Amino acid sequence: MWEKFFVYIIEEHRGKAIGVLLGLLASILVISYGFWRALFIILCIGFGYFIGKRLDENKNFDNWIKHMFKDK
């Protein structure tokens, strides 16, 4: 019974389900650590996701790092 319900939610309402889970996680972080620490954690997670996504897509990570930290 629950398995069919979860499959239905994931297939038909994926965006809403992910949004609810992210909202729950953010609220737990804010309650546990405070707003600024929770924001820092969320930013670190986002930055880690971005780097991981670039690595998964086989983008040239060395060139990206050089571009980000080049002398201006």
Q: Classify 59 in phi/psi space as left (phi over 0), alpha (psi -120 to 50) or beta.
A: beta
Which pLDDT belongs to residue 10?
Answer: 82
The residue ranges of every structural domain in the chain are 2-68
pLDDT at position 11 is 85
Residue 15's pLDDT is what? 86
Q: Write down the pLDDT at residue 61.
A: 66
60 in helix, strand or coil?
coil
At 72 the pLDDT is: 58
Cβ contact 33:41 at 8 Å: yes
Mean pLDDT per 10-residue interval, the chain, length 72 residues: 87 86 91 94 89 74 72 63
Cα of first residue to Cα of last residue in the chain, in angstroms, is 60
